[in-house]
Structure 1
Amino acid sequence: MKLSAQSHASITSSLREALEKYVTDGDRTVITDIHLQPKQDSGELVIFNDDDEELSRTIIEEWVDYGEDDFYIKVEGILRTDINTLKGKEELESLCIMKPYSFVLVDEDKETVAELLLIDDDDTLLLNDELLKGLDEELDAFLKDLLEK
């Protein structure tokens, strides 16, 4: 699925409109995710926060009645690229949102499809499967050794 420059501009504009609500000099807002919900049948992209408060909405012509089964896979790449473009322009740095927070792709039922981008401080450690591999065995060995002494 290829998007026109106008569609990319609509996505970027909608993201900026949503994020505008978090560009203030006051206290940092506590949200954990900004949800992006593309709708295959209507072509809408709805952006909302953790409280299901709608932040922005736009229509992407190429998504209207897109009939393939790979809709979310295609949209994931498009949205990730457009969000990373905003990050590259450092437009995400001035937001008054406590870190870490994520941009998340969700389906019609608001179930997470993919995490598009995680914004965090450099000192935040993210746990992943590779990091946790073998942790159970190490903890069991440590506990056994501790109990034997």
Structure 2
Amino acid sequence: MKLSAQSNILIESAIREAVNQFTGDEEQTIVTDIHLLPKQDSGEFCIFNDDEEELAKVIIEEWIDNDTEDFYQNIERFLRSILNKLKEEGIFEHLTLLKPYSVVLVDEEKETITDLLLMDDDTMLVNDELLKGLDEELDDFLKKLLEN
């Protein structure tokens, strides 16, 4: 799925708007997740907190009536790249949120699809590609260990 430059700007602006609500000199807020909800049928991109309070909302024209089955997979890659860009800019560094907190992709039932970004001082969220085959490797290691 290809998004226009205007849609890229809208999504990035919505994320900035949501995150900016957690800046300032206020006490630290306990929020464990910032939820990103793209709606395939209406084109809405909603961002909300743990209490389901809306932080930002925009309409992405390319998403309206998009009926592709890999919608969330495409959106995941796209949102992950935007979030990494914003993280490199440092917009997540000085928020009034207690760490760790995550930015998660959710579906219309508000079920978590995947963690897109984990902010913590000593934890790193790794890519699924890095973890492929890890279960088999650990099973083989344990089997060899127990045989000796």
Q: Could you tell me which residue of structure 2 aligns to residue 52 of structure 1?
A: 52
The verdict on how the C-alpha distance between 1:119 and 1:86 changes in structure 2, with shifts beyond 3 A counting, is same
TM-aligned CA deviation for residue 94 of structure 1:
1.6
* CA deviations over 1:21-64 (Å, ceiling 9, x no partner): 10011211111000000000000000000011110000111111
CA distance in 2, matches of 1:17, 1:38: 16
Give the Å deviation of 1:20: 1.2
Structure possessing the higher radius of gyration over alpha carbons: 1
Deviation of 1:81 (Å): 0.8
Distance 1:25 1:72, change over 3 A: same
Q: Which residue of 2 aligns with 1:84?
A: 84
Q: Secondary structure at the residue paired with 1:95? A: coil
| Alignment partners' CA distance in 1, 2:102 and 2:6 | 25
**What is the aligned partner in structure 2 of residue 35 from structure 1?**
35
Structure 1 gap ranges (5+): 138-149
Cα distance change on mapping 1:14 and 1:125 into 2, 3 Å: closer
Counterpart Cα distance in 1 of 2:83 and 2:30? 20
Count how many residue pairs are aligned between Structure 1 and Structure 2.
132
1:90-140 Cα offsets, whole Å, 9 max, x none, are: 111121111110000000100011110101002x488xx869x57xx8xxx
Q: Distance in 1 between matches of 2:5 and 2:88?
A: 18
Structure 2, gaps ≥5 residues long: 126-130, 143-148
